[in-house]
Structure 1
Amino acid sequence: MRILFSLLLLPLAGFTQNLTLSGHIRDEKHIAVPYANITLKSSKDSSFNQRAVATPDGAFKFAGLAKDDYKILINVVGFVSFEQSVEVDRDMELPIINLQDEVSQLAEVQITTIKPKIIRKIDRVEFSVENTVLSSANAWEIVKRAPGVQSGGGELSLRGSKSILVTINDKKVYLSGDELKAFLESTGGNEVKSVEIITNPPAKYDASGSAVINIKLKNNLQSGYKGSINSSHTQGIYAKSNFGTNQYIKGQKFAAAANYTFGNGIFYNEISEITDYVVQQQTWYNTLRRKNFRDAEHTYRFNVEYTPDSLNTITIGTNGYIAKKNHALYLIPTAIYENGQYKYSFDTRNERTTPRSNKAYNISYEHRFSAKESLNLNADFTKDLNRADQDISTIYHVADSYFGRFKNNNDQQIRLFSTQLDYRNNMPLFELESGLKYSKVNADNKQDFQQYLPGSFAADPALSNTYRYDESVLAGYIGLHKEIKNWSLKAGLRAEHTATLGNSSQQQEMNRQSYYNLFPTFFAQNKLNDSHTLGLSYGRRISRPQYSYLNPSKTYFSPNSYLVGDAKLKPAITDKLSISYAYKGNYRAEAYYSYEQNPTIQLPFQDNVNNLLIQKVTNIPGNRYYGIDFSANFQLAPWFTIDLQAGPNRVESSFKLSDGTMLYNRTNSLNANIDQQYIISKSDGFSANVNFSFTTGGIQGPAKVSSMSSLNFSASKKLFSNRAEIGLMISDVYRGEKMTVSSNYADQRNSFTYYGDTQNIRFSFKYNLGNNALKSKALKGKTSEQSRL
C-alpha cells in the first residue's frame, strides 16, 4: 500500500516548462475587441484545453506552456471564428490578430437538428444528443435510449446488471430509485451534451458499481450571458408538470451557472401479486396501487468559477433536491381463495408522508503547471434527510368484520464527506493519471413502530429499532496511457481499503468489516487500417450495498407484506472481459463476459407458516453474464438515419436455499433497439424520432423476469428564429414496459406484475434568453457514495 501511494505522488516532482504566449485582438477597423474568448489546444495532446479572456484593450496571455505545437481559437459574437496554428519554443507574442465582422445577424443563424451520434472510444461509448430531437426530452428519457441501457420497473440495467453508478460530469448522483428517476426527469434534455456508457470504467473512477453511466452537461467557451426558461407537461394516468430556468454568465475571471426546476404531479405505479400458499391450499391475490403525490419538488444546481489567471481555477458549487411536501397513498385490496373457492378479503390503506431533502456542497481547485501537467483538489459534503411516516389501517371482510391499524415512522439521516486529489501529466513516454481519495459516511436510522389499541397507540419495542452505520474508504489509483503507432494502450490499478461498522439496537449486535481490494484495468485498441479496429478490455469492480439495505429493521407495506434488510450484506466483486471489432466506425461487434460474486438483490420470499410475503434483501452466490452486442448505423438518405443495436446474451445465477441446497437459474435472451431519426425540414428545424426496443426476458437470482418492449415517438420544432423550441413525445405506446417477476422453486410460488405509468404523452416548450450562440456552462455534478442512498 505504501509503495503504491509513493508511486502516485512521485510524478509531482517532475520538471515542467514555463513558456508564455501572448497577443492582441482587433476588428477590421483596428479597434480593440474586449472580452473575446480564446482557447489554446495542443496539436498532440487532445486532453489539453486552456482558456483565457481578452482584457478591455484586447490583450491576452497564456503562461506555463511547454514546447509544443498548438492551435489558437478565438470566438466572439459578431465576428467570424478565428483559428491559427503556432509552434511555441520560447516566450512569444503573436502579430496583431484582426477578426472579420460576421455578415449575418445572430437571430438568422440556423441551428440544425441532427441525429444523435454514437462515438466509440477506447474505454467507453459516447451517445451525443446535443442539438438533436432528444434535446426536447428529459435526462431520464435520454439515458433510457443510450446504447445498451435497459429500463424496467423504474430501474436502469446494463448487460443484465442493475449495479450501475450514475454520475453527472463524472460526479456521482446521491439519489437512487424513485428519487433518482424524478431527479433525471426534472433535468432538461437541453442541458445534456452526451451520455457516456462505461461498461469497464478505468482506474480514475470509484471502483463502486459494475458500470458507469455518465451524463455530460454542456460546456462553455465564450463570454457573455445566456439563459432559458422551459416547461413540460406529461399526461399519463395522472399528470406531471415541470417549470425551470437555466442561467449562465461569464466575465473575464468569473463565471456563474445556475439551474432551478419546480415540479409537481402524481407518480403512479401498480403491482399485482399472486401468492400460492401450498400447505394451506390458499391463493392470495392483491393489487398494490401506489400514488405518490409530489406537490412541490425543487431541484437546483449553482456553480461559481473564478479563474485568476490561465493556470488556476477555483470552483464552488451547491446542488440539491428538496421535496418536503411529498406524500403518498397506497391502496391494497386482497382476496383469498381456498381450493379455488373465495374465502374472504381485506382492504389495506397506507397513508404516507415522505419528505426528503438532499443537499450537496462542493469546492475544487485546479492548477495547471503547464500545457501537459495539472493538479486538481476537490472536496464534497452531502446531507440527506429521508423520512417515511406510515399510517396503515386494514378492514377484514369476514363474518365478524374487524379493523386493524398500526404506525411505522422511519427517520433516516445520512452525511457524506469526500476529498480527492488528482494529478495528470502527459510525459514523453506516456500519459500519467494518479490520485488519492478519502470518503466518510455516517448513516443514522430510527424506526418507531406503534400498534393501535382502542383509543390510542402504544409503542412496540420488538419492531422498533435504531440503526447506525459508519463507513470510510481510503483509495489511491495510478493509470498509464500510451499511443504506439496504430496501438492505443491504457492500464491502471486502483487500491481501496474499506472499514465499516453497523450497530443495531434491536438485535444488540455490532457488525464490523474491514477489507482491502485491488482493482486492475486494462484496455488495448489496434487500428489495423482505416476500416478495421480491434479492442480488448479487462476490469474489476466492487458493488457496495445501498445504505438502506444494511438496515435490518422491518418496513411494512401492509399487515402481510414488509421489506427487511441485512446488516451483514457483503460487497459484490465483478470481473469483466470484452473483445470488440469495428468496421469503418459504422459497424461494431463486442463479445463480453462478466462474473459477479455475492451480488445483492431484493427478493420476494413467502413465509408459508404465517402467510407473509417478504421483500428480503440478501446476497446470492453469483451471476455470470455472456453476450455479444452488435451495432450498425445506416444513412439511408440525407434526411433519414437508422441506428441498430442488438445481441443475444445468457445469464446464469446461483442461489442457496434455506436447507443449504444450491439452486441454479439460467436463461438465454435477446435484446434490441431500433432508433430512426428524421430531418423533416432542415431549414425550419423540424425533426422527429421513432424508437423501438425489446428484451425477451431475464432472471433475478432464482426469479424469472418476463419479456418487455417499448415503442416511442418524438418530434421537435424550432420557432422564433431559433429562440424557442416545442417538443412532443409519446412514450410506451401500447404499455409494453409491463414487467412480470415470478418465483417457482422449492416451496415458493409467487409472482408480481409491475407497471409504472410509462404510457404517456409529453409536451415541452423552451425559450432562450440572452446570447443564443453561447453553449451552456457545465455545472458541477455530484460525487461519490450517493447512488447507494
Structure 2
Amino acid sequence: MKNFICPLFFLLSFNCLLYSQDFVISGTVKSQEDNAVSFANVLLLSATDSSVINGTSTDESGTFKMKGITAGNYLIKASFIGNESAIKAVQLNADMEIEPLILDDADQELDEVIVTSLKPRLERKIDRLVFNIENTAYADGDVWDVLKITPSVMVIGENLSVKGSTSVGILINGRKVNIPHDDIVNLLSGTSAGNVQSIEVITNPPAKYSAEESALINIVMKKNIIAGYNGAIYNKYIQGVLPKHTIGTDHFFKGKKTQLSLNYSFKQDRDVSYYTDITNFTEDNTISTWSAEQEYLNNSKQHNLSVFFDYDINEKSRLSFTTITLWQPSRNRVYDTDTDVVGDDEFSRFHTLNNSEIQKLNTSYYIDYIYDLNEKGAQLSFNGHYTYYDHTRDQILESIFYDTNGTLSGNNDFTTDSEQEINLYSFQGDYESPVGDSGRVGAGLRYAGISSKSSITQQGFDRDQPGIDPSEVGNFDYDESIYAAYISYSGKWEHWKMKSGLRAEYAKTEGELDTDVLSVERHNLQFFPSFSIQYIPNENHSFDLYYFRKISRPRYNNVNPFQTFQSTFSTIEGDPELLPATRYYIAGGYTFDKSYTVELFYKKAKNGLSELIFQNNDNNLLQFISSNVAQETSYGIDFSVNKSFSNFYNCYLLTSFYSETFNFINISTNSMVELDQLGWFIRNSNSFSFLDDKSLTVDLNLVYTTAMLSGNTKFDAFGALNLMARKTLYDKRLSISLGVEDIFNQGNQFNTRHYQDQNGTSLKRGENRLLVMGLRYKFGNSKMRDNKKSKRVDERNRI
C-alpha cells in the first residue's frame, strides 16, 4: 500500500494515458523445403475471438518483426499466395522470437472453419467506450447513422451530444476535424461506415488534446493489416418525402513501407420540413398572436474526399499525411412562410419567401512525424495542421403585406450577400516515455492560430420599420492565438488503473468591425486538471471515478456582429462580446461482470454558449441570438446493460434519470430567469445475427426522451424506433441493407417558451420516417480476410 500512495498523489496532478508494457515478436517464415519466403503475410490474432491484433510482412530474407504488442495470449500464422502455416499459440510476457512458421503447400480452402465468437460490440475502457461496428446492420450506412446507435451518444435532429454535453469534438484516426457543427453533420452523413472499424467515445479526453471539448468522438478507419490492395464501391438511397442519394468508393493499399487509404463520396440531399410557430406578443396589456406556417426546402450537392498516407522511413521513424475535404458547390435553401396576425393594428397577414444559394469549401491538411527514441517505448512526435474554410451565401428575401382588411398594403424586398473565410493552423510537439515498470509520462506544447474574416452586404431593406436595424455593409475580423502546454502521467498496479494531468492554455482574441468603433480584445489564461481512476478487484467487479474541467470558446460564426434575416420579422444575430464557457464534470460508477453499470454524475457550466430565442414585444420581432447562459447544472444517475445473451443476440440498454437547471438573462426585461426540469431518457439497441455464417444481421433500436431543456426552450417528449437488416453474399464481398427509421413517425419536435414576457411555441415536422437502402461491393486481394473469420485446425480447441 505504501508503494501505491506516492504514485496516487502524483497522478492526481497529471494526466495519464493508460499504459501497459509493449513487447516485440519476431521470427521467420519458411517453405516446407526450408527456404525463406519473402513478402509473406504474418497475422497476430486474439486467442479468444480470432480478431486481428496486428500484422506485417516478411522482408527479402523471410524475417518479420511486430512491435508494440501488449502482454497476453495470442495466435500467429503466416500465408503466401493461398498457402498458410499452422496456427501457433503464443503467450507473450517479454520480447519473443518464435520458431519458424512453415507454409503448407497444400490447398487449405476446404479446411476453413467459421469462428462463431465475435469481437465485443462495446468495450469499456478507463476513459472511453469503444463501439465496434463491423458486424452491425449499419455497416452499409453512413457514419452519422452509426452515431445514432452509438452508446453514450445522443442525436436529436442535427444536434449531437455526449452525456448531455454538446461540446463534442470529432476526430478521424486521432486527428481533430476543425469545422463548424453543420459541416460535421454534412461530413459524417457523407462518409461511409463501411470503412470504419470502430467509434471511440472518449468521455474524459487526455490532456494532449485541446481543452475545448467535454468529449471526443474518434472515428477509427480500417487499415490493411497485410500487404496488398482492396477497395469497395457503395450506394445508399433514402426515401422520405423527397429522395436522397449517396454514392462513393473506398481504396486501401499496403506495401512494404507505405500504406494508403483514399475515400470519396458524392451526396445529393433533397429534404423538406414544416414548422408551425406561434408567438403571442404583448404590449400595453394588448396581445397580438402571430401564427407562422413555414415550408423549408433544401437541395444540396456535396463531395467528400479523404486521403490517409503512412510511410515508414525506417524502423524508428514514420511519416503520415492526411487530407480531409468537404466541397459543397451548391446548396439551395427556400423558406416559404405564411404568417397570420390576430390583434395587430397594422397587419392581418404577410407572406415571406427566402431563397438562398450557398457554396462551401472546407479542406484540412495534417502531417505527422513520429520517432521512436529507444526500444523501451520512448517516443517523440510532431504534428502540423492547416484548415481553410470558405462559406458564401447569397439571399433574396421577398415579403408581401396585407392590412387589417385583407388588402395588399405593400411589399419589402432585399438581398443579402455574406461570406466567411477562416484560416486555421496549428503546431504541436509531444514526448512520451515509460517510467518504471508500469508508468508512462508525457508532455507537449501546442500553438494554434485562427484568422476569421466575415463580410456582409444587405440592400433594399425598408429602413423605416421600427426595431429593424440590419447591417447594410460590414467587415468583421476576428483573430485568435492559443498557446498550450501539458504534462501527463499514467500507470497501473495490480488492481488499479489511473490517469490524471494538467493542461494550461493562454488565449488571446481580437475582434474589429470596420463600420463601427467596435473593438474586442481579450486575454485569458486557464488551467485544466483531469483524472480517471479505475479499481478492478477481480474480473467481475470494476469501480470508476473521473473528473475534468474544460472550456468552450465561441464559434467564429457566432461572434459576427451582424443582424441577418430568415423572414421579415425573424433575425439571426451574433455577439462579439461572447465569453468562453467553463465546464466541470465528475462521475463515479460500478460495473458488474463487464455488463451491468450504474453511474452517478454531476456537471456544471458557467457562461454556457447557446443560441437563445427571444421575442421582442415592442417591435414584434423574433430574435435568434448567440448568447451566454449564466449557469447550467445537472445531476443524475445512469443505468446501462451491455451483454451478449447468446451467440446471436446482443443488447445495449441505457436509462438516465436527471435534474437540470438553466439560468440566463432575459434580454427584454434584463432580469434573470431560472428553468428547471426533471427528466429521463432510454436508449436500447438490439443486434441479432442469423444463419450459420452470421451473414444476416438485424438491428432494432429505440430512443425515447421525456421533456428536456435546451437553452431557454423546453422540448416535449419524443422518440423513434428504427429497424435495419443487412445480408452479406459471395464470401462477404457483396452486402445489401434495408431498413426503416422512425417506424411510427414519432420524431416531431414541439417546444415552448413560457416565462416572464415570453410566450411562444414551435412545432417541427421533418422527414422522420425514412426508407433506407444500401449496397456495397468489395474487390481486390481475395486473401485479405476480415477479423471475424479464420482458418484453424482442431488442436486449437485445446488452447
Superposition TM-score, scaled by structure 1 size: 0.89
Counterpart in 2 of 1:783?
none
Displacement of 1:511: 0.4
CA distance in 2, matches of 1:212, 1:503: 32
Task: Specify the alignment match of 1:760 in structure 2.
Answer: 770
Q: Which residue is equivalent to 2:298? A: 292
Other-structure match for 1:715 = 725
Moved more, 284-293 or 433-442: 284-293
Distance 1:519 1:529 in 2: 32
Aligned to 2:445: 436
Partner of 1:421: 429
> Is the partner of 1:309 in helix, strand or coil?
coil
- Residue of structure 1 aligned with 2:560, choices 551, 567, 571: 551
Instruction: Identify the match of residue 596 of structure 1 among 605, 611, 620.
Output: 605
Any idea what the Cα deviations from partners look like across 1:530-584, whole Å, max 9, x if unmatched? 2211111111111111110011101211111110010010111111100110001
Match status 1:475 vs 2:484:
yes
The answer to whether 1:648 aligns with 2:657 is yes
Task: Evaluate the alpha carbon distance shift between residue 442 and residue 42 of structure 1 in structure 2; reply closer, same or farther with a 3 A threshold.
Answer: farther
Which residue number in structure 1 is paired with residue 746 of structure 2?
736
Aligned to 2:308: 303
Counting only pairs closer than 5 Å after superposition, residues 222-301 of structure 1 correspond to structure 2 as 222-279=226-283, 280-294=286-300, 296-301=301-306
Contact 1:160 1:651 in 2 (8 A): no
**C-alpha distance in 1, partners of 2:728/2:62?**
35
- Contact kept, 8 Å, 1:605 with 1:748, in 2: the verdict is yes
2: CA distance, partners of 1:731 / 1:18 = 44
Task: For 2:337 and 2:117, locate their aligned partners in 1 and report how far apart those are by CA, in whole Å.
Answer: 47
- Asked whether the equivalents of residues 274 and 286 of structure 1 are also in contact (C-alpha less than 8 Å), the reply is yes
Partner of 1:28: 32
Q: Distance in 1 between matches of 2:398 and 2:22?
A: 73
CA distance in 2, matches of 1:286, 1:141: 32
Aligned-pair CA distance for 1:756: 3.7
- Offset, 1:308: 2.5
Name the CA distance, whole Å, in 2 between partners of 1:747 and 1:40: 67
CA deviation after TM superposition for structure 1 residue 525, in Å: 1.0
The CA distance in 2 between the partners of 1:86 and 1:215, in whole Å, is 29
> What CA distance in whole angstroms lies between the structure 2 residues aligned with 1:107 and 1:229?
30
Q: Distance in 2 between matches of 1:487 and 1:196?
A: 22
Q: Indicate if the aligned counterparts of 1:51 and 1:310 stay in contact, CA closer than 8 A.
A: no
SS of 2:396 mapped into structure 1: strand
In the other structure, the counterpart of 1:631 is: 640
| Aligned-partner Cα distance in 2 for 1:210–1:376 | 25
Equivalent residues of 1:422, 1:433 under 8 A apart: yes
The one-letter code of the counterpart of 1:629 is D
CA contact under 8 A between 1:113 and 1:132: conserved in structure 2? no
1:697 pairs with 2:707 = yes
Aligned: 1:316 with 2:321? yes
The structure 2 residue matched to 1:409, chosen from 409, 412, 417, is: 417
Q: 1:268 to 1:100 in 2, by over 3 A?
A: farther
1:208-231 CA deviation, whole Å, 9 max, x = no partner?
122222222223321111101100
Structure 2 residue corresponding to 1:663, chosen from 633, 650, 673: 673
CA contact (8 A) 1:115 1:641 kept: no
Q: Deviations over 1:159-201 (max 9, x none)?
A: 3322222222222223334322221111112122222222222
**Structure 2 matches for 1:46-445, cutoff 5 A?**
52-60=56-64, 73=76, 75-76=78-79, 78=82, 79-80=84-85, 84=90, 96-100=100-104, 103-105=107-109, 117-279=121-283, 280-294=286-300, 296-338=301-343, 344-369=348-373, 370-398=375-403, 399-428=407-436, 430-445=439-454
SS at match of 1:190: helix
For residues 66 and 107 of structure 1, the distance between their equivalents in structure 2, rounded to whole angstroms, comes to 29
Query: 2:389–2:421: 8 Å Cα contact kept in structure 1?
Result: yes
Are the equivalent residues in 2 in contact too, given 1:422–1:434 (CA < 8 A)? yes
Alpha carbons of structure 1 residues 102 and 729: separation in structure 2 relative to 1, 3 Å? farther
SS in structure 2 opposite 1:354? strand
What aligned pairs does 1:521-600 form with structure 2 within 5 A after superposition? 521-600=530-609
The secondary structure found in structure 1 opposite 2:204 is coil
Does the Cα contact within 8 Å between 2:141 and 2:236 map onto a contact in 1?
A: no
Alpha-carbon separation, structure 1, partners of 2:540 and 2:28: 44
**SS of residue matched to 1:599:** strand
Q: Which moved more, 1:440-449 or 1:204-213?
A: 204-213
SS at match of 2:304: strand
**Helix, strand or coil: the match of 2:677?**
strand
> What is the 5 A alignment of 1:5-20?
none
Residue 275 and residue 220 in structure 1: after superposition, are their counterparts in 2 closer, same or farther (change >3 A)?
Answer: same
Asked if the contact 2:470–2:563 (Cα under 8 Å) also holds between the matched residues in 1, the reply is: no
Cα 1:174/1:756, change in 2 over 3 Å = farther
Match of 1:686 among 686, 691, 696: 696
Name the residue aligned to 1:510: 519
Residue 82 of structure 1, CA deviation: 5.2
Question: What's the offset of the Cα at 1:465?
Answer: 1.5
1:679 to partner: Cα distance: 1.6
1:361 aligned counterpart, secondary structure:
strand
Q: How many residues align?
A: 749
Give the SS at the match of 1:324.
strand
Greater displacement, 271-280 / 600-609: 271-280
Which segment is superposed worse, 244-253 or 524-533? 524-533
Does residue 1:617 correspond to 2:622, yes or no? no
CA change 1:452–1:537 in 2 (3 A) is closer
Per-residue deviation, 1:52: 4.9
SS in 2 for 1:281: strand
Question: C-alpha offsets along residues 587-631 of structure 1, whole Å, 9 cap, x if unaligned?
Answer: 001111011111011011111111111101110111011111111
Alignment RMSD (CA, Å): 3.2
2:313 alignment partner, SS class: strand
3-state SS in 2 of match to 1:141? helix
Percent of pairs with identical residues: 28
Cα separation, partners in 2 of 1:240 and 1:109, compared to 1, 3 Å:
farther
Alpha-carbon distance in 2 for matches of 1:700, 1:317: 36
Give the 3-state SS of the residue equivalent to 2:289 in structure 1. strand
Contact 1:693 1:709 in 2 (8 A): yes
* Cα distance change, pair 270–504 in 1 and its aligned pair in 2 (3 A): farther
Query: Within 2, Cα distance between the matches of 1:126 and 1:689?
Result: 18
CA distance in 1 between counterparts of 2:596 and 2:88 reads 35
Distance 2:71 2:720 in 1: 51
Offset of 1:35 from its aligned partner?
2.0
CA distance in 2 between counterparts of 1:671 and 1:595 reads 20
Distance 1:257 1:776 in 2: 17
1:621 alignment partner, SS class: strand
Q: CA deviation at 1:21?
A: 7.8
Structure 1 Cα separation of the partners of residues 97 and 163 of structure 2: 54
